[in-house]
A and B are shown apart, each in its own frame.
Chain A
Amino acid sequence: MKIAVILYPGTNCEYDSKYAYEMLNQNVELIWHKETKLPQNLDLVVIAGGFSYGDALRSGAIAKFSPITKAIVEYANSGGKVLGICNGFQILLEANLLPGAMKHNKNVHFISKYHHLKVENSENDFLKELKKGDIVNIPISHGEGNYYIDSDALDELYDNNQILLTYCDENGKILNPNGSVDSIAGICNKNRNVFGLMPHPERAMEKLLGSDDGIKMLQGLIS
């Protein structure tokens, strides 16, 4: 399969994402944000993590105006699969491909550590290799991961099974590191082709480095 990993000025997880998908035997191309078109015959767009434009104004706020973002919005609106990890998730929110917004973490600290996540819905391409209720251990690394959505829009997320992952402890009990509404760590759009999450599955590919739970997550979108 052909995968494009998007690179904005300040992105810093592009090589981890490329490495992760190459480990899964995929053909990965890095795409600079000045490009106006995505490659032909693409199967997946990954917006990698980092600090696009140094998080100026708000995380993801400026990246929304990069030429490639326009192409990604068109790709997503015509049914193409898009995965936004960390800053990629923030960009998808700013670009209105996913609902809600990010605030600074509740404790105002940058949090960088392994965190357990609970699979809330697995009837989608991203998490189909997992089961509802599964618990995975995936690194988080963010200062603005405090997901906010108003209560009407939150109801809609529940009604459409758009909440994919929540923060929890190793037993699956809610453990909210950043203040996110209902401990939400990842969501998808109504059409289930745009996925965003704050944790970094591409950093959980080797047991030796702490966890390989990311493999099943990333595999879903290519199998």
Chain B
Amino acid sequence: MKAIVNVGLKEGVLDPAGKAVHHALLALRFSNINGVRIGKQIVIDLDENDEKKAKEDLEKMCEELLANTVIEDYNIEIVK
């Protein structure tokens, strides 16, 4: 099964890259944007059939490596 992990800066933590892109979009005359946040998408190909076990493993992966929980949030999506 495949898992998609999205990691991004927590709400309230300023995202410098997102801000830069926001300014660039304004320069392209897209004036109807309230904000831009940039994150990472990590696609993991898992050799696992048990969805519950996969979710548990992914949770551990996020806590230990994929996200820095001091500044980042994550969400996990299983794709069959």
Contact = CB atoms under 8 A, between A and B. Distances in A.
30 contacts: A57-B66, A58-B68, A61-B68, A64-B65, A65-B65, A93-B70, A94-B68, A100-B70, A101-B68, A101-B70, A103-B9, A103-B13, A103-B14, A103-B15, A103-B16, A103-B71, A104-B16, A104-B17, A105-B16, A107-B20, A108-B16, A108-B17, A108-B20, A146-B16, A148-B13, A148-B70, A148-B71, A150-B70, A179-B14, A179-B16
A106 B68 contact: no
A35 to B, nearest CB: 22
Interface in B18-37: 20
A149 B10 CA distance: 12
Interface of A: prevailing SS: loop
Q: Which of A93, A107, A108 has the most CB of B within 10 A?
A: A108
Interface residues of A, number: 21
A94 B71 CA distance: 11
B70 A61 contact: no
B65 A57 contact: yes
A152 to B, nearest CB: 12
A107 B65 contact: no
